[in-house]
Structure 1
Amino acid sequence: MKQNIYDDIDFFESYGKMPRSFDGLNSAGEWHVLKNMLPDFKGKSVLDLGCGYGWHCIYAKEQAAESVVGIDLSQKMIDKAKENSKNLSIDYYQMPVEDIDFKDEQFDVVFSSLTFHYIENLETVFSKINRFLKKGGSFVFSMEHPVFTSRAQQDWSTNEEGSRLHWPVDNYQDEGIRQTNFLGHKVIKYHRTLASIINTVIDSGFSIQQISEPKPSEEIIEKYAEMKDELRRPIFIMISALK
């Protein structure tokens, strides 16, 4: 299901108030780990799937990537990415990730940040990515962790005073659609077990190099006190693989 919630005006405005939106990668709790999972971008051709505000495209170009292509379903996201990188040579295209179509072995690196939990058929997308990557190319992505996506509620269990008791996990083995609530809007996501995610990478022809379930850095926690609870459960799963 190709859901374009980010072009909803109210949703987009709410998203824009998140730290990672207005402050970039330095306020993304996982970035201090994710950047170390990325390959050397110098002289490489890079594809970013679900590029959002363009922060990762900008980073790749700043790291001397030869060419960078950003894809996003949301026109508002594409417009914002172009605005953020107006002095850089980056090509942006508005299209669903499921519809990407490039030349065989066109890219050295394919990257995606927090997009694949919106995709129904990962098998098809990962197979396309493998075809678009050069032999020895890198595939690095992050997505919401199965511990986070198992329940549609995606929220803490609290006591009567509202204090957070624990993060509940339920229906973990029941893969499929989750009708969630994000930034006050109904959003469709797809839950998969950790094994399913990992095996889809392997079955698509990739060799996994590293897996991370990152926790926020001390600097991020000092900057945003509410991030301290992110130490209590994983919110993201990140995988680095080679073709």
Structure 2
Amino acid sequence: MEHNAIRILLADDQVLFIESLKRVIETMDPAISVVGIAHDGEEAIRMARELEPDLVILDVRMPKIDGVHAVEHIRRLQGQSKIIMLTTFDDDEYVHEALAKGACGYLLKDIEPQKLVDAIRAAAAGTVLMSETIASKVIAQMLSKTSEKTQSTPRLMKSRPDWYHELSYREREVAMLLAKGLDNHEISNLMFLAEQTVKNHVSSLYKKLDVKDRSQLIEKLKPLRD
């Protein structure tokens, strides 16, 4: 094992899947070391406490304690391990609850092996990650809530700025995430876009919002935080 290896704990009740996943990860990137495998939520919590891995990868549905509640227990017992969900379930309830309880990522099992390895590295470094379909749903919901708030705002109160309605859908997505405090790299991972593409959208926002630097842009995007 390399000195600076990323130590991960895998948790899934499907034995064949989890053993295959271990082999794939360690074969594709020798700098990632699987230090433990758990087959239910209770075992995952115990092993996370004992092994203190850099990253825990959990399935959502597992015996004894499900993955979502395991996130809560692991975060409470030791807060240094990053946690991502790797599952077949893309239900909104699972996604929101897992992220609310402290998971930093939600990926689907149909992810390509190389993208999974890249995601492990990014998550270990602190990046928030979601599968493309999940990210699209979450961002769409954020934009929908923004629209609902605008429509329900009394006329005497300030609604969304005029410039917001001049943005393309993609620009609104990027603007919303910038307003939430994400940087270009985090946005590119979340939206599954090249970082240069995100930079292009940010440059377009500079022009449309008539700002000269990042601090001015963030200041102008403040109305999108609510």
TM range (shorter): 0.3 to 0.5
Q: Which one has the largest radius of gyration?
A: 2
Which structure is higher in strand share? 1
Which structure is higher in helix share? 2
- Greater RCO (CA < 8 Å, at least 6 residues apart): 1
State the TM-score, normalizing by the size of structure 2.
0.35
